[in-house]
Amino acid sequence: MCPRRAERPPRGNLFLACDGGSSSFKAALFEIGDPVPHAPQAARWEGAIAWKRVPGPAGLTSRGHAQQDANSHVSLDRTIDAPGRLLASMEAGELVSARGIAVHRIVHAGDFERSPARLTDSVRRAIESAEALAPEHNALALAGVDAVARLWPGTEQFIVSDSAYHADMPLAASTYAVPSAWNRVWGIRRLGFHGISHGYSAARSAQLLGKPMRALKIVTCHLGNGCSLAATAAGASIDTTMGWTPMEGLAMGQRSGSLDPGIMLYLLERGRYDAAELRRVLNEESGLKGISGLSGDMREIIETAEAGHPGATLAFDVFVHRVRSGIGAMAASLGGIDALVFTGGIGENAHPVRRAVCSGLEFLGIALDDELDARAQPDCDVSARSASARTLIVRARETWEIARQCALVMERANA
């Protein structure tokens, strides 16, 4: 864990942001001073480890303060090994131990949905108890917690809830049409996820448009291996597509998204699946992968669809249909739309997806400049001149937002 080259002393507080997803684990080290800046800052170090299947190979990339990329492949036996493998490759590791605070994105944070919160034993137990509700995420996040504790003993650790941005949604949007006791006893309601990404991309789009976020009606589309939409009005989330778990909503890479509950009852009652196997299939064998029979990777879906593969073509069409109809629902909740924002791996990089989604949304004032969009780089406006609503691509900077939220909490505490 020694540095590979001399490091300048930090001028502000150091925050190691850790973000475990369904197909990757990312981390970045930020130096944040007072006052906490609004604009995204460059990381002193950042890295990611990504996989398609486990056990199997995973790609590890990292970039230190010299801005030189290092790429390698490692073998992963379990996804929970990923955080340790990535963080052990980190430059300037001793700075974390000496001055740093580690902050972790928690998808299902139990009762701590309005975080950031200091990681205590009770917070950890709440995260562990919610693991069945976010099986692809919570265990990985806790593996990151354990890796930090092992590599840099004594480092202070915090969590940031991925649902916090949606915590004040109207009851009409967050309440399921089930017995109210389900909410009172078990807390079952629409929590929403990808809140860190939705909140950041909505704020960033307002910056790019030069308008106050409070004055805009924004639909954000976080499209990656996991996918969700959110509606932001007056600077707050008022609706979203994910629910009590990250399984609800859009079709995703390997997750089914919304499904008629009667289908699951049918399969369970007839003994075709038990609960554990059904959970596995809906989380790991559905979505783009299930429809195409090939892959949950949109890049492969687009390539094989263009080559004429019927399963890939159908998977692409279902994905686009779900996103487009979801945008319509979010716009209805908002009573209109000023900005449509694409973010996440697919949202930022897949021009064919953006083009297909926006086609047919002219009634909302959305029109894409196809030539501009095909060569666009985040952060930018790709709207046609005729559009009354703006369409933007915003780079997902979840690690920055994780660190920034924790820095804001500490700034207020020290004020």
**Active-site residue (options: 81, 162, 338, 379):** 162
Q: Which two tokens stand for residue 76?
A: 């992963």
C-alpha count within 13 angstroms, C-beta hemisphere, residue 105: 32
Collapsing DSSP to helix, strand or coil, 300 comes out as helix
Collapsing DSSP to helix, strand or coil, 141 comes out as helix
Q: What does the alpha-carbon distance between residue 40 and residue 246 come to, in Å, rounded to a whole number?
A: 27
Task: State how far Cα 180 lies from the chain centre.
Answer: 29
162 has catalytic annotation: yes
Q: Which two tokens stand for residue 226?
A: 């996991």
Taking alpha carbons only, the member of 219, 179, 168, 172 closest to residue 336 is 219
Q: Which two tokens stand for residue 183?
A: 């909410």
Place of tokens 């990535």: 86
Q: Do 340 and 390 touch, CB atoms closer than 8 A?
A: yes
Q: Are strands 390-393 and 380-381 parallel, antiparallel or unpaired?
A: antiparallel
Q: What does the alpha-carbon distance between residue 333 and residue 340 come to, in Å, rounded to a whole number?
A: 14
CA distances 83 to 24, 25, 145, 149, Å, are: 9, 6, 9, 12
Q: What does the alpha-carbon distance between residue 125 and residue 120 come to, in Å, rounded to a whole number?
A: 9
Q: What does the alpha-carbon distance between residue 184 and residue 190 come to, in Å, rounded to a whole number?
A: 13
Helices (H), 246-309: 261-269, 275-284, 287-292, 298-306
Burial class (CB in 10 A: 0-12, 13-18, 19+), 234: exposed
One-letter amino acid at 175 equals T
Residues shown for the chain = 415
**Enzyme catalytic residues:** 162
